[in-house]
Structure 1
Amino acid sequence: MNGHRESEEPLLRTVEKEPRTFTWNQMHRMAGRMARALQRLGARPGDRITVQVEKSPETLALYLACLRGGFVFQPLNPAYTTAELEHFITDAEPAVVICDPDRKADLEPLAARIGARLSTLRGDWKGSFFMLQMVQPETFETVARGPDDPAAILYTSGTTGRPKGAVLTHGNLLSNARDLVFVWGFTTDDVLIHALPVHHAHGLFVACNVTMLAGASMIWLQKFDTDAVVKAMPEASVLMGVPTFYARLLEHRGLKRAAAGMRLFISGSAPLSPALHTRFRERTGHAILERYGLTETGMNASNPLDGERRPGSVGPALPSTEIRITDRDGGAVLPTGETGMIEVRGPNVFSGYWRREK
């Protein structure tokens, strides 16, 4: 999966500050230059690339560069402190660390300790990595990778101890994106309002991978802003968000008119209350589509595109995914209506935790 469609049509456009538009071919060429830049920094296929930068079109290009170069993308929350980063970086042992120029002095000693090269990137055409990629040839032959080869490592929240790196393969990402394109009816005509962060699965793998696999396009917002999202709706068809997005949108006077031409509102990453689901439908005429997933599996279930979207429900399993509910103690499969442990099987399930046997 390398996210390319041969086209001079827009893939992504920003609408804040200085608006920028990137066509599919422009993004592909930038990803090629970045893949070459990573090679210049010493990265080889299979090496981890740790990335802690603010959201920008260049961040997406860097993700695509890792997919094309056979590197393993490790995104980290830009809000993490240097102390918090120590575990993630020493555990992953990346070949290259890319951070915001303002974090360089803090992270240089840590990168040096593990023998990683450090470079900087920011979305305003600044940073040593940005300058390095600018002087690279645009042509790059994508490194062949199989479905079982790692594509990314995302660290879990650590509710059962220190955060663990979930290793997601190319096959995991591709199979899940294919399912979601199908069940959500994505086409080349769709325009997604992208207002999510890109350091976790929702904003990166669900939003970006689905859009790119469908050959659709994105209106790219630096962060969620109610006015900006409502303003973008007349030119868009889909919004992916978290429940708080929808709660805040309900406070906007222009929501009903702006949402009239939208095709789909999707919610995830946290439970959507039935009350919020009902209020949004009554206000806009749109029933929010809720889905369910995990960092380790991608998406597992979704309410239907056509048919009833039940408030408080995440819908049936995706086409390539099997789900069952089992007893917490004995492991016996439970009948419908019972509460127990969720077990998932399918090509979307991760290969394991980084450097953990279990």
Structure 2
Amino acid sequence: MNDQSLFAALRAAFPANLDSVAIETADGPAGQPFTPQHYTWRDLERGTAMLANLLAGLALPPASRIAVQVDKSVEALMLYLAVLRAGHVFLPLNTAYQAAEIEYFIGNAEPAVVVCTPKNFAWVSRLAFSSGVGHVFTLGDDRSGSLLERASHCSDQHKPVPKQADELAAILYTSGTTGRSKGAMLSHGNLLSNARTLQSYWGWRSAREGGDVLIHALPIFHVHGLFVASHGALLNGSRMIWFNRFDPAAVIARLPEATVFMGVPTLYVRLLADARLDRDACRTMRLFIAGSAPLLAETFHAWEQRTGHTILERYGMSETVMLTSNPYHAVEGERRAGTVGFPLPGVSVRVIDPARPGQPLPAGEIGGIEVKGPSVFAGYWRMPEKTQEEFTADESGDRWFKTGDVGRFDERGYLTIVGRSKDLIISGGYNVYPAEIEGFINEMPGVAESAVVGLPHPDFGEGVIAVIVPKPGATLDPAAVVGALKGCIANFKVPKQVFVVPELPRNAMGKVQKNLLREQHQGLFAR
């Protein structure tokens, strides 16, 4: 059998010298004395083998789901690799999820094994065992827990289980802002094809070219940190400087040892707030990548001015991994603020008029974004009806995934994400795209960021409101904001009310949770 597994490809990319450093820790468990740990490629080989042998000893059915909700650590990354190595399916769970959410995920995915933090063992194990889960282990970010204790007695020799490209590798549950979370099923082929595309498109350097060093400061329960960042370094045989938690000062101190950094926009804003960030600190860096949430043009330009580097913004989803990217090489075009660049090689992206399914819109017009390509998932776990609903087939038989995002192409082919289709506001029969209004508000003096949402309105169906965060020391007048907007956009788009708040609610990846804003102000116009 020709092994097409993701693990086999990652393992084949390990450097010839297995005793060179693969991962160096840059921090440790909170509140504990820190001593840097250096993990060699041989450590990754032996550690994943021992964990895979532990799973093999449980006599699990093939392709069992392994649900994991643990704090970030190198051992947690090894567990992910070991699950792939053992031929099972990895199910990462956000560390912020609470009991009711975990109960749903366990009930829906029916994992054979659950791994949680030692502090959560009592309640997680109770939920797991009551749902028929056979095994519950613990794993702490200080290398404690029953998982490593059991694995320490296992052999460090293991033959990886071969897989075909279309076999399931991971299930990622979407955030579930509208209804129950859905489990996106990603295959070995989905993940490996995307990793290889990004390795080439983003110019990952081989050892002969001087190599790359990645600062890894993202969570690993999500596409960005677990797949894009980790796969990028592993597939390139590149060293990682590993942060369990993001600390701006600590990251800046390690930048001169690195060449690549990936972050959500919030991380870039926090780095810019530290005066130690300058061109000298970034002298060895070749690439800064942003994603998972929109990057403000102000942050884009401030970063360029301070560091001399232009952030590369890209676009992807849990269901598709990465889809588009601003260019890496200058000959392919400049990196444009407010855009997510061009479709990646092998990926097709189109903007569709919802009233005319299958008919792409011309440049400049806003519509629903649909995609197809080798990284697009097969469907949602145990939701065939939802899967069918989210895909559309052309007369040619091509299968396009309806992303739920709204956007437009410009004349040069750059894609701009305008918002989510569920965030579209229909006020008085007119379509209002929040991102357009947010763009105007964010350019106003004293504004740090904004979020625009629609609320039920007795006359207009939905009424537009804006929630704004001021810059430090700035004072914003809601009436003045409304007055300024009336001079730049149509009146039906102007917010009927503006709120000034200290911060916007965000999830763990930095995305603004507009559903919480809608809930908070739900009865505004009814009153």
TM-score, normalised via structure 1 length: 0.98
- Residue 314 of structure 2, aligned match among 291, 295, 307: 291
Aligned pair 1:148/2:166, yes or no?
A: yes
Q: State the AA in 2 paired with 1:166.
A: A
Aligned pair 1:196/2:236, yes or no?
A: no
Go from structure 1 to structure 2 and tell me whether the alpha carbon gap of 1:42 and 1:100 turns closer, same or farther (over 3 Å shift).
farther
Structure 1 distance, partners of 2:43, 2:61, is 24
Partner in structure 1 of residue 196 of structure 2: 178
Structure 1 distance, partners of 2:173, 2:143, is 28
Structure 2 distance, partners of 1:43, 1:278, is 52
- Residue 352 of structure 1, aligned match among 369, 373, 379: 379
Partner in structure 2 of residue 216 of structure 1: 238
- SS state at 1:255 partner: coil
How many angstroms does 1:303 deviate by?
Answer: 0.5
- Residue 92 of structure 1, aligned match among 109, 124, 145: 109
Q: State the AA in 2 paired with 1:190.
A: D
* Contact persistence 1:169–1:350 (CA under 8 A): yes
Unaligned stretches of 5+ in structure 2? Answer: 1-5, 28-33, 388-527
Structure 1 distance, partners of 2:42, 2:376, is 31
Partner in structure 2 of residue 22 of structure 1: 39
For residues 10-68 of structure 1, the C-alpha deviation after alignment (integer angstroms, 9 at most, x for no partner) is 11110222211111121111011101111223433310000010000000100000111
- SS state at 1:119 partner: strand
Partner in structure 2 of residue 132 of structure 1: 150
Structure 2 distance, partners of 1:125, 1:195, is 19
- SS state at 1:37 partner: helix
Structure 2 distance, partners of 1:273, 1:328, is 28
Aligned pair 1:227/2:249, yes or no?
A: yes
Aligned pair 1:259/2:282, yes or no?
A: yes
Structure 2 distance, partners of 1:149, 1:187, is 30
Partner in structure 1 of residue 518 of structure 2: none
Structure 2 distance, partners of 1:29, 1:272, is 40
- SS state at 1:193 partner: strand
How many angstroms does 1:214 deviate by?
Answer: 1.2
Structure 1 distance, partners of 2:259, 2:307, is 14
- Residue 314 of structure 1, aligned match among 326, 340, 343: 340
How many angstroms does 1:320 deviate by?
Answer: 1.7
How many angstroms does 1:84 deviate by?
Answer: 1.6
Structure 2 distance, partners of 1:162, 1:147, is 29
- SS state at 1:186 partner: coil
Partner in structure 2 of residue 57 of structure 1: 74
- SS state at 2:281 partner: helix
Which shifted more, 195-204 or 100-109?
100-109
* Contact persistence 1:325–1:334 (CA under 8 A): yes
* Contact persistence 1:41–1:96 (CA under 8 A): no
- SS state at 2:103 partner: helix
* Larger RCO, structure (CA 8 Å, separation 6 or more): 1
For residues 218-256 of structure 1, the C-alpha deviation after alignment (integer angstroms, 9 at most, x for no partner) is 100011110111011010001000111111111112211
Partner in structure 2 of residue 304 of structure 1: 327
Structure 2 distance, partners of 1:70, 1:30, is 16
How many angstroms does 1:8 deviate by?
Answer: 2.0
Aligned pair 1:325/2:371, yes or no?
A: no
How many angstroms does 1:88 deviate by?
Answer: 0.8
- Residue 267 of structure 2, aligned match among 245, 248, 262: 245
Structure 1 distance, partners of 2:275, 2:298, is 19
CA-atom RMSD in angstroms: 1.1
Aligned pair 1:76/2:81, yes or no?
A: no
- SS state at 1:313 partner: coil
Structure 1 distance, partners of 2:179, 2:201, is 35
Unaligned stretches of 5+ in structure 1? Answer: none
Partner in structure 2 of residue 122 of structure 1: 140
Partner in structure 1 of residue 293 of structure 2: 270
Partner in structure 1 of residue 58 of structure 2: 41
How many angstroms does 1:302 deviate by?
Answer: 0.4
Q: State the AA in 2 paired with 1:164.
A: K
* Contact persistence 1:44–1:70 (CA under 8 A): no
Q: State the AA in 2 paired with 1:67.
A: L
Structure 2 distance, partners of 1:161, 1:113, is 24
- Residue 129 of structure 2, aligned match among 97, 112, 116: 112
Aligned pair 1:340/2:351, yes or no?
A: no
For residues 186-218 of structure 1, the C-alpha deviation after alignment (integer angstroms, 9 at most, x for no partner) is 124111100000001000000001111111111
**Matched residues, number:** 358
* Contact persistence 1:30–1:138 (CA under 8 A): yes
Which one has a bigger Cα radius of gyration?
2
* Contact persistence 1:42–1:95 (CA under 8 A): no
How many angstroms does 1:111 deviate by?
Answer: 1.3
Structure 1 distance, partners of 2:276, 2:20, is 30
- SS state at 1:259 partner: coil
- SS state at 1:300 partner: strand
Partner in structure 1 of residue 506 of structure 2: none
Structure 2 distance, partners of 1:175, 1:45, is 23
How many angstroms does 1:120 deviate by?
Answer: 0.8
Structure 2 distance, partners of 1:309, 1:316, is 10
Partner in structure 2 of residue 280 of structure 1: 303
TM-score, normalised via structure 2 length: 0.67
